[in-house]
Copies of this chain bind each other. A is one copy, B any other.
């Protein structure tokens, strides 16, 4: 009667879509409950035509077209309003301990100018989110979350253990500057020194007199930055300044690109990764430091789950254009036995191929294994690929 973890329930299977669901898009009223970042108006004016709600904030999904948005990201530079990456601020004597209790990644060596990708887990080793965490000072962290109220986990755990830590949502709204010309644009606006930040390091830059954090990071493999914009005022002016400075670089408004992030193997929380999965199943074993006593609450639980029976794999799917995904697609072997699911798929124009992210059983996860994918318009031949071709 009950399932241990949620997201699978209600994610309709392919049969539903092919026969009954009529629309890939629906109409959504904007309400008091729908938050918008300070960059919303400027981003919207760049031609955003669709939105999802992410952390109770609007996130644009479509601008020119999927292909044009993709090709442009790979040749120029885009500004993304990713204010929906909300920041949980943890501060105080036990802040580091709270971060460490909730992730298998060892954060002991983290410096004040570093960002760490820290898959978060509950006590059983199941994933709760996959944030990037910034150390922004002694005893002070910003946990930049994927879609979900991870703040409630921190509050519950801190209360249960009686930790001395302040937990709140910071009034900070990331603006991503992504694409091969991002360095050029950032250099023009904040000087050449800013472009010398190393990957997943951050520095302070001046935004109309206020020092704000600029990190070399982002949800693409095209290079770029994320500016952690503080407060509500001055967002329009900053956006305009970047657009003006980058006019000859063909800077445009954009948003995370499904095809590009799939070819780069960048996973999406609540589709590729679900709360029933361990970091090992998600292929994130390199972030699990289980050989030392880090203090992670799930240390023993994860030690017992080092060898998963299913794992994320890059999947190539044959044939023409794919339908837009509205639910998981079942993956079978060539005899029709279910061996996994596709959670993300798109045409990757650079590779002339359909690329996908699959969660595949151990029996069928070797490179080259032939598979079948039950797409809404029929069965497709597919294969386990040697790697994500766009991984940087």
- Which of A30-38, A196-204, A361-369 forms contacts with chain B? A30-38
User: Assembly of this chain: how many copies?
Assistant: 2
Distance of A314 from chain B, by nearest CB (Å): 17
Distance of A265 from chain B, by nearest CB (Å): 17
Is A25 an interface residue, CB under 8 A from the partner? yes
Distance of A279 from chain B, by nearest CB (Å): 16
How many A residues touch the partner, as a band? 35 or more
Interface residues of A in 5-58 (CB under 8 A from B): 5-7, 9-12, 16, 20-21, 23-38, 40-41, 49-53, 56-58
- Chain B neighbourhood of A173, CB < 8 A: 10
Q: Evaluate contact between A12 and B24: CB separation under 8 angstroms.
A: no
Considering the chains assembled together, what is the distance between the CA atoms of A149 and B154 in angstroms? Answer: 12
With A33-B271, A147-B33 known to touch, is A27 a contact of B49 (CB < 8 Å)?
A: yes
- Which of A68-76, A103-111, A158-166, A332-340 forms contacts with chain B? A158-166
Considering the chains assembled together, what is the distance between the CA atoms of A95 and B27 in angstroms? Answer: 40
Distance of A257 from chain B, by nearest CB (Å): 14
Q: Evaluate contact between A6 and B325: CB separation under 8 angstroms.
A: no
Distance of A69 from chain B, by nearest CB (Å): 13
Considering the chains assembled together, what is the distance between the CA atoms of A52 and B35 in angstroms? Answer: 13
Distance of A144 from chain B, by nearest CB (Å): 13
Is A230 an interface residue, CB under 8 A from the partner? yes
- Chain B neighbourhood of A268, CB < 8 A: 33
One of B23, B52, B157, B169 near A157 (C-beta < 8 A): B157
Mind listing 19 A-B residue pairs with CB under 8 Å? Answer: A2-B171, A4-B168, A5-B168, A6-B168, A6-B169, A10-B36, A10-B173, A11-B32, A21-B41, A24-B30, A26-B30, A28-B50, A29-B52, A32-B271, A32-B328, A32-B344, A33-B147, A149-B150, A157-B157
